[in-house]
Copies of this chain bind each other. A is one copy, B any other.
Amino acid sequence: MPAIIDYTKEQLEVLQKELLAQYDEFVKAGLSLDMSRGKPAPSQLDLTNDLFTVLNADNCKTETGFDARNYGILDGVPEMKQLFADAFGLKAEQIIVGGTASLSLMFDNIMRIMVTGTEGNIPWSRLDKVTFLCPAPGYDRHFGICERLGIDMIPIRMTETGPDMDQVEELVLNDASIKGIWCVPKYSNPQGICYSDETVKRLASMKCAAPDFRIFWDNAYGVHPIYEDVKVLNILEEAEKAGNPNRPLYFASTSKITFPGAGVSFVAANADMVEEIKSVMTYQTISHDKLNQLRHVRFFKNAEGLHAHMAKLADAMKPKFEIVLSTLEKELAGTGLLTWTTPKGGYFVAVDTIDGCAKETVRLVKEAGVVMTGAGATYPYKKDPADTNIRIAPTYPTCDELQQAMDVFCVCVKLAAVNKLLG
């Protein structure tokens, strides 16, 4: 048998009929599943329930004896900084602890530079044009910040080793309006790509026309291996070695470690940038939630405890990634209709349909009761130029639900493709 992509018109018509029949069955079954976001399943959250009880009035002082119930300590309790530093391979003095969301820290840092500038350069809000490089597919909320704040976006092709560095280097060298790049360096959203050493070194050392160019290093999945703990170089170290110590702003949080609605985030940077961030943050807040910081410290105890917790989460997620990958393999390998990534960690699997079929596939899936991330969402301005990329977020449904969803998905991929091929 030839690959479906090579079918004759007659073969396609026969297959179309079969697929429509299968699809109708799914629609009749009346599924109702939401796989649109990278949300942990309730069963994953249950693994964190001790967080509710580890902190009390008798152990709510910091290791320095500070009563965490009261005002004070702008940049986080020392033991939380140390735990993050140990877990992510950073230095405690590089870390400023934030509130529940690293997204807020990214947003706030852009707002800060928009209004007050960085390193004495002109505030971005006073410039006619500010541009960010956006490796794509990428994280829709990064692109959303830019769009909302009027920052132009240039999509950058993703490769197996990270963003296409030839393209990045040429752009930043010649265009001083390019002030930043969004990076999810480890198990990237949505492809699960890990930046190679060369990619990290080139980002750290490349020559930029803008003196205030910043790497927004969103290490959202930095401690989230599922199959293999891939090592990604420390951007702060590499940037310092390359003579660009102020370039990276490094973000992460416990959102996909403990409770996404109630975790702890941090931003890390070199000493100058830590000072600069704090010089504005001190007007924004007196402190973030130190009790929640201590709650997390009591729960994990130390970085080893955090990694052990992540191993439990990985065990809970593995069967789901296997359902996704084995169903894609079984239904679509060799058809020529779909390619996909096989991430070693993180939260997502990304697939690419044949040209012009992502939107239609997601539409068909939705009609059959399964909501996936909107096609195009992984690109700046929600515009996937070839209309091929779809993000699969397997964590939230149960295994049974996920298997159903994947069965629907595979039929829809084929149906959309066959319809397209038949014109």
Taking Cβ atoms with an 8 Å cutoff, the residues of A that contact B are 37, 39-40, 42, 45-46, 48-49, 52-53, 55-57, 60, 67-73, 99-101, 103-104, 107-108, 111, 114-116, 123, 125-126, 141, 144-145, 148-150, 255, 259-262, 279-280, 283-292
Q: A144-B283, A283-B141 are in contact. Are A111 and B115 (CB under 8 A)?
A: yes
A284 touches B69 (CB 8 A): no
Complex Cα spacing A279 to B104, Å: 14
A45 touches B71 (CB 8 A): no
A-B pairs, 6 with minimum CB distance: A262-B291, A49-B57, A125-B125, A69-B259, A107-B284, A71-B260
Question: Which chain B residue lies CB-closest to A46?
Answer: B57
Complex Cα spacing A52 to B298, Å: 14
A280 touches B56 (CB 8 A): no
What are the residues of chain B within 8 A of A115 when measuring CB–CB?
Answer: 111, 114-115, 125, 149
Q: A45-B70, A261-B70 are in contact. Are A145 and B52 (CB under 8 A)?
A: no
What are the residues of chain B within 8 A of A73 when measuring CB–CB?
Answer: 261
What are the residues of chain B within 8 A of A279 when measuring CB–CB?
Answer: 148
Of A45, A46, A261, A288, which is in contact with the most chain B CB atoms at under 10 Å from its CB?
A: A261
What are the residues of chain B within 8 A of A260 when measuring CB–CB?
Answer: 69-71, 286
A291 touches B259 (CB 8 A): yes
What are the residues of chain B within 8 A of A148 when measuring CB–CB?
Answer: 116, 279-280, 283
Q: A70-B260, A148-B280 are in contact. Are A56 and B52 (CB under 8 A)?
A: yes
24 residue pairs bridging A and B, Cβ less than 8 Å apart: A37-B71, A40-B70, A46-B57, A49-B56, A52-B55, A52-B57, A69-B262, A70-B259, A71-B255, A71-B260, A71-B261, A73-B261, A101-B287, A104-B284, A111-B111, A114-B125, A115-B149, A116-B149, A141-B283, A144-B283, A145-B283, A148-B283, A260-B286, A261-B289
Question: Which chain B residue lies CB-closest to A255?
Answer: B71
Report which of B53, B57, B285, B289 forms a contact with A289, defined as CB distance below 8 A: B289
